[in-house]
Structure 1
Amino acid sequence: MSNVIVNRVAEFLKRFPPFSFLEKADLDLVAKAVEIQYLEKGETLFHQGDVARPHFFILKEGIIHLVESSSKGDEIHEVCDEGDVFGVLALLGKRPYLLTSKVVENCLIYAIPVAIFEKILEENSRVALFFAAGFAAGQVVVRQDLSEGQRARGAFKSASGDHSLLIFSDQSQINFSEKVLKCGPDTTIQHAAKLMADAQVSSIVICDENDFPQGILTDKDLRSRVLAPGISTKNPVWAVMTSPVITRKKQDGFSNLYLTMIRHRLHHLVLTVDGSEQSPVAGILSDHDVFLSMGNSPAVLIHGLMNTLEVSDMRIIRDRAEQMLLYYLENEISMEFVASVMTEINDVIISQALEIVQQKLLTDYPEMAKVRFCFLSMGSEGREEQLLRTDLDNAILYQDVPEKLKAEASEYFQKLGEGIVEVLLACGFDPCPGKIMASNPEWVQPLSVWKNYFSEWILHPSPEALMKVSIFFDYRAVVGSKALAEELTEHIYQEIAEKQIFLNFLAQNALKNPPPLGFFKDFVVEKSGENRDQFDIKSRAMLPLTDLARLLVLSHRIVGINNTFKRFEKLSELEPGNSELFSQAGKAYEILMRMRALEGLQTRSNGRYIQPKSLGKLQRQLLKNAFSPISELQEIVNIRFQLDYFRR
């Protein structure tokens, strides 16, 4: 290929992700390897069911329809335009094409060899994440304008990693309101605004005597057309409403409705009986409704959560997050990525729960608005490992207040904790059997009390104290003043430094669980009770690894790393001699997390107990391999903390 053509190909590719993420040298390498294909109208690039080619494609010119063939006929799933990347699912999934590509207009296509991308995928994490995310979301086409989903995710936490590249996967369900707030054109602006405020909606449709839409007034209109220019609110709404109204009928389908909103930059779309202005209003579709309808990508789920304080909506969205989780697990997406996404979703739910409860309480407790506090997640959620809605472990830490405010602060924060836990339970999370929750007054305390708790556990490490340590030492400040949590952490490390023998007790506790395999190298199963003959993956395999990782990190005085596989990653750096073992332990823990979550989703349980006989040969071997680092780590701990001598 001549240099001129290579340069043109490179210039085109550079305009679109994932090629826009490449350095010049890599981009030139790809451009040189591109195969240019010209297809005429009516031709087919690949057929549904064909074995995946060693290429994926980007459309340079023309239009291609991706079509699913069934007994009911052909159904168009996607329309590919300039810059769209397709054929990726079949490539990354190593499975046949799900759709047929039909050339609707003469096309010029760049075929990108996967071989050229293998090294890039290994070395360029942004490119790898782009493909993995698109694959995880079930997309058949990757586009440059993933706009709304990307912005929702990016605006939420730009520093958390570029997970915004997940796109919409299921657009079959349309949520819209059939109860539309309406008024006549002569209604005063003030009265229309009051109606909106009373109904807690952001728009009102202005209708004539036949219920035909004449215009629409939104919150934005009130700001820009009434308040900003200083127009009297005694004027009629027809003077400031948006008119004429763009209308559609609800039967038009998601794609048409959403495209209408995009093309006309609408935040609200009025739906009528026949789709015209000369027809009664039948509903209204808001951009919030759109996000709730756009499937199971993190961007959409997080945006939906951040824009609702309705607990019923939050429950629905968290249910959908579980569907997304199942897809991720079955397609073996990186556990670090999966865990971070699920943690963020859970954190947003906690944040919204806090806002719901604060709105109710602060009217009666105005002084408490000035008191610093933070909501702590502990246990698996504190470690950013809670994939399923298993036991809640949480607490509230608040600043010490003057004597005159102590009773009020205690009452307020107890009510706050009870309210947040109530919302979390309504969202489908399980309560903690040991009542280690912010609804329990024992775990809603000022900083001085929390310091005393930890000092007592460290100075007098009884079996009960060590049990609490295994939960409470993994706390993480989700919302509120993180400085309070940091002050508590500093206190804990000072106490441990002054009583190093505490780590020996902690080490002894970390070895209390027997190895997961028995003498005959088979699973150690429960001997009695409702889980008889089942394997407890939490207690027998996961807990030993979390306990060992926590102990070793504490011994190195490492602050701020709670996640188990990140702890092993850090230990690998700190102890090069044991680097390989720690690396294996981290990978083993990821395998165990995946297996437990899959078990839970498939059996609609917490996934803790697994029936060994139900596992295939490969699964059994994979699980046994995950056990191998446990005994080696236990031996290291036994020697390092002189436990044989300590037990005498």
Structure 2
Amino acid sequence: MTERFDTSHPPFNRLSNSQRKQLVGALDVAYFRHGETLIEAGEHCEALYIIIKGSVEESSPSPADSNEIYAHYTSDDLFDVRAQLEGTSRHRYVATEDTLCYLLPRQLFVEFYRGNHQFAAYFDTSLARRQQLLEHAQQQQNLAEFILTRIDDGNLQPCLTLAQACSLQAATEQLHQHKMDAALVTLDNGIGIGIVTRTNLLHAVMLDGLPHHTEVGEVATTPVVSVSKGDYLFNAMLAMTRHKIKRVAVMAGDDVAGMLSLTQILSLFSTHSHVLTLRIARATTVDELAVAASSQQRLVATLFNNGIHTRFVMELIAALNEQIIEKAFQLVVPQPLHAHSCLIVMGSEGRGEQILKTDQDNALILEDGIDWPALPQVMATLTQTLQQLGYPLCPGQVMVNNPKWVKSQSQWLDTLDALIRRGDGNAMMELAILADSHAVAGNRSLLPPLHERLNLHMAEHELLLSAFTRPALHFQLPLSLFGNLKAGKQGLDIKQGGMFPIIHGIRALSLEYGVAVTNTFSRIEQLAERKVLEPQTASNLAESLKLFIKLRLRQQLEQDAGGMLQHLRLEELSRAERDLLRHSLHVVKKFKQWLGYHYQIRD
């Protein structure tokens, strides 16, 4: 049976070939009946247990400790790593059903741990380090796939071809007219073709003093390095590197099919974000803007599938979302009113944490005293435009087509005061929405006074902060009584059970301590700098939230679910991902306990 042990998954994929053979040769198999103790607390532990099938509960050593359950392990999980290094186990491990395990001798595990740094690093208690190792393995696979991308019409640049007798002035004019920075030149000397760039033309005239009527053939560079259409993009990049050039011609048989530049290939190997940004900036109609916005999900998939870090993807998409919404505002709202109104976004968009488009959450702040009779019609058009651009309507009507969310600055300040006085659950929810508001268009200076008023109120009212924070403790963690991952029919609710407690708890702390930024990760960093959070706690919270977002995003992309999916399908996660997820949810559990103590919340 040990011959079937799969060493291709973390952490065993980090072993050398000889170590893997040692591992497989040393494994034993043991069977434990339901209720049988595998490891007793305080006893020497002479093997690492790897579950083949069944389940095992990790609990406190004795009933005197209220028999606290720490974790629940199932197929492919392993334990007790700490005991391998310390010699004895701190906890009790009991089979909760008939269980079959591989046993890896402790002596061999310790030998691997001490002799293989990558293997040892997997067991580092730092959640950040473990995620880094897992991401590195995924990036290697994604890079291998991307290297196999071929040159086709979708990634070719059109090519301008000039006659040898074309003058330098005419060549410059044609490059300018076609918005190109290089052209091929047909030569009559038997060489075939040459290449000329704008830099060549500039140097010919300004440095070499050639007349404008000089034939372009005299400054064309030869020979032209070429690749074939259908070849790998990676080979084109290798050709450029080898010949120390920035462009290659692409041939379809004996004919020129186009050209590739190094800048273009690097962009294809990374993202098309710069192209999308240009399309947004150049859009003059809503239809043109919709075409640009429609490619956003493809950009996210490209970034994610190429192993780009989740937080970088979030920051990039947040910037692009802001550009799209700002452009929509500019196209819909009359220009004279831009300086007298401010469009704000809230929720995940306001925090800069929206990756795929979710429901609209927006509001408008008007400068005091502005008379705008057509305001309702314009805001209705803006809401409809954003819907056309892929932002669904908000079921709760938190949108600018709802008069409740369109007010003058003074009215908004009065609204904040009224919500503070009410202090009920609905008021706290509206305050939470406004706490994450971010200005994206118009006169952005209209928003800061609202944040200042809200921070002032919250910092001065301990009871209000307690009521505000309570929802973070409301939702149950998706962990069973045995510490196992708990999923319903739809899957594991990662939004309410994992993401919301971190986001809302950090939001409350930020209001208490006057942290001005709205992004959760930035808030965590500033709270750590102010010593509100311990460095390890801050790191674990950030890494846990990043993991939740990453796992959710992957399944959203696979299901084409937009930003609406909030349940994870556990069967699609690897053992290492399930282990990280369980670890991260325990981080959330400890944070909720800390919040309850900090704000004296007792249910």
TM-score by length of structure 1 reads: 0.54
User: CA, structure 1 residues 248+441, in 2 after alignment: closer, same or farther (shift >3 Å)?
Assistant: farther
Equivalent position of 2:566 in the other structure? 608
Equivalent position of 2:520 in the other structure? 563
Equivalent position of 2:226 in the other structure? 248
Equivalent position of 2:111 in the other structure? none
CA distance in 2, matches of 1:444, 1:189: 59
Equivalent position of 1:596 in the other structure? 552
Task: Please say if 1:380 is aligned against 2:348.
Answer: yes
User: CA, structure 1 residues 628+359, in 2 after alignment: closer, same or farther (shift >3 Å)?
Assistant: closer
Equivalent position of 2:436 in the other structure? 474
User: Which shifted more, 221-230 or 345-354?
Assistant: 221-230
Alpha-carbon distance, 1:495 to partner: 3.6
CA distance in 2, matches of 1:439, 1:244: 62
User: CA, structure 1 residues 582+184, in 2 after alignment: closer, same or farther (shift >3 Å)?
Assistant: closer
Code of the residue aligned with 2:567 in structure 1: it is Y
Equivalent position of 1:238 in the other structure? 216
* RMSD value, Cα: 6.0
Q: 1:342 aligns with which of 310, 313, 323?
A: 313
Code of the residue aligned with 2:505 in structure 1: it is L
What secondary structure does 1:545 align onto?
A: helix
Matches of residues 302-451 of structure 1 in structure 2 within 5 Å? 302=273, 318-319=297-298, 321-322=300-301, 324-325=303-304, 328=307, 338-350=309-321, 353=324, 365=335, 371=339, 378-386=346-354, 388-392=355-359, 395=362, 400=367, 403=370, 423=389, 425=390, 432-434=394-396, 436=398, 451=413
Instruction: Choose 1 or 2 for highest CA Rg.
Output: 2
User: How many percent identity over aligned positions?
Assistant: 18
What secondary structure does 2:348 align onto?
A: helix
Alpha-carbon distance, 1:250 to partner: 2.5
User: Which shifted more, 443-452 or 243-252?
Assistant: 443-452
CA distance in 1, matches of 2:209, 2:405: 52
CA distance in 2, matches of 1:227, 1:443: 60
Provide Cα deviations, 1:439-496, integer angstroms capped at 9, x if missing partner.
Answer: 9897687766655554454444454443333333234567998766555432321243
Equivalent position of 1:538 in the other structure? 495
Check whether the contact 1:537–1:592 (CA below 8 A) recurs between aligned residues: yes
Q: 1:170 aligns with which of 147, 150, 163?
A: 147
User: CA, structure 1 residues 173+453, in 2 after alignment: closer, same or farther (shift >3 Å)?
Assistant: farther
Q: 2:453 aligns with which of 469, 473, 491?
A: 491
CA distance in 2, matches of 1:441, 1:201: 49
CA distance in 1, matches of 2:182, 2:169: 13
Gaps of 5+ in 2: 1-12, 20-114, 283-288
Provide Cα deviations, 1:178-200, integer angstroms capped at 9, x if missing partner.
Answer: 64344555667777666556655
User: CA, structure 1 residues 438+565, in 2 after alignment: closer, same or farther (shift >3 Å)?
Assistant: same
What secondary structure does 1:137 align onto?
A: helix
CA distance in 2, matches of 1:439, 1:231: 63
Equivalent position of 1:137 in the other structure? 139
Equivalent position of 1:4 in the other structure? none
User: CA, structure 1 residues 345+247, in 2 after alignment: closer, same or farther (shift >3 Å)?
Assistant: same
Check whether the contact 2:507–2:520 (CA below 8 A) recurs between aligned residues: no
Check whether the contact 2:14–2:118 (CA below 8 A) recurs between aligned residues: no
Check whether the contact 1:180–1:283 (CA below 8 A) recurs between aligned residues: yes
What secondary structure does 2:519 align onto?
A: coil
CA distance in 2, matches of 1:627, 1:584: 10
Code of the residue aligned with 2:433 in structure 1: it is I
Matches of residues 7-156 of structure 1 in structure 2 within 5 Å? 51-52=16-17, 115=117, 137-138=139-140
Alpha-carbon distance, 1:283 to partner: 1.4
Provide Cα deviations, 1:363-402, integer angstroms capped at 9, x if missing partner.
Answer: x84x678x4998755433444544x525155647788498
Check whether the contact 1:438–1:444 (CA below 8 A) recurs between aligned residues: yes
Code of the residue aligned with 1:563 in structure 2: it is T
Code of the residue aligned with 2:236 in structure 1: it is L
Check whether the contact 1:572–1:583 (CA below 8 A) recurs between aligned residues: no
User: CA, structure 1 residues 360+285, in 2 after alignment: closer, same or farther (shift >3 Å)?
Assistant: farther
Provide Cα deviations, 1:7-49, integer angstroms capped at 9, x if missing partner.
Answer: xxxxxxxxxxxxxxxxxxxxxxxxxxxxxxxxxxxxxxxxx99
Gaps of 5+ in 1: 1-47, 55-112, 141-165, 329-336, 527-531
Q: 1:551 aligns with which of 498, 501, 508?
A: 508
Equivalent position of 2:468 in the other structure? 506
Check whether the contact 1:450–1:488 (CA below 8 A) recurs between aligned residues: yes
Alpha-carbon distance, 1:237 to partner: 7.0
Alpha-carbon distance, 1:632 to partner: 6.0
TM-score by length of structure 2 reads: 0.57
What secondary structure does 2:309 align onto?
A: helix
User: CA, structure 1 residues 458+246, in 2 after alignment: closer, same or farther (shift >3 Å)?
Assistant: farther
What secondary structure does 2:503 align onto?
A: helix
Check whether the contact 2:412–2:450 (CA below 8 A) recurs between aligned residues: yes
Provide Cα deviations, 1:473-532, integer angstroms capped at 9, x if missing partner.
Answer: 234567998766555432321243466554243134444435545789888777xxxxx5
CA distance in 2, matches of 1:517, 1:214: 68
What secondary structure does 2:312 align onto?
A: helix
Code of the residue aligned with 1:177 in structure 2: it is L
What secondary structure does 2:147 align onto?
A: coil
Check whether the contact 1:304–1:317 (CA below 8 A) recurs between aligned residues: no
Equivalent position of 2:93 in the other structure? none
Check whether the contact 1:516–1:540 (CA below 8 A) recurs between aligned residues: yes
User: CA, structure 1 residues 618+477, in 2 after alignment: closer, same or farther (shift >3 Å)?
Assistant: same
Equivalent position of 1:65 in the other structure? none
Alpha-carbon distance, 1:608 to partner: 1.3
User: CA, structure 1 residues 230+321, in 2 after alignment: closer, same or farther (shift >3 Å)?
Assistant: farther
What secondary structure does 2:149 align onto?
A: coil
What secondary structure does 2:159 align onto?
A: coil
CA distance in 2, matches of 1:315, 1:170: 26
Equivalent position of 1:39 in the other structure? none
Equivalent position of 2:266 in the other structure? 291
Check whether the contact 1:585–1:630 (CA below 8 A) recurs between aligned residues: yes
Alpha-carbon distance, 1:325 to partner: 2.9
User: CA, structure 1 residues 473+232, in 2 after alignment: closer, same or farther (shift >3 Å)?
Assistant: farther
Code of the residue aligned with 2:318 in structure 1: it is D
Provide Cα deviations, 1:256-287, integer angstroms capped at 9, x if missing partner.
Answer: 4324444566554333444xxxx543212234
What secondary structure does 1:466 align onto?
A: helix
Q: Which has the higher contact order (CA 8 A, sep 6+)?
A: 2
Alpha-carbon distance, 1:346 to partner: 0.8
CA distance in 2, matches of 1:198, 1:410: 44
What secondary structure does 1:269 align onto?
A: strand
Q: 1:270 aligns with which of 233, 246, 249?
A: 249
CA distance in 1, matches of 2:482, 2:569: 18
CA distance in 2, matches of 1:316, 1:192: 34
Provide Cα deviations, 1:571-618, integer angstroms capped at 9, x if missing partner.
Answer: 697457x88877765565455444434443454435412456887998
CA distance in 2, matches of 1:190, 1:413: 51
Alpha-carbon distance, 1:343 to partner: 1.6
User: CA, structure 1 residues 614+280, in 2 after alignment: closer, same or farther (shift >3 Å)?
Assistant: closer
Provide Cα deviations, 1:155-210, integer angstroms capped at 9, x if missing partner.
Answer: xxxxxxxxxxx99953523354364344555667777666556655444545589x
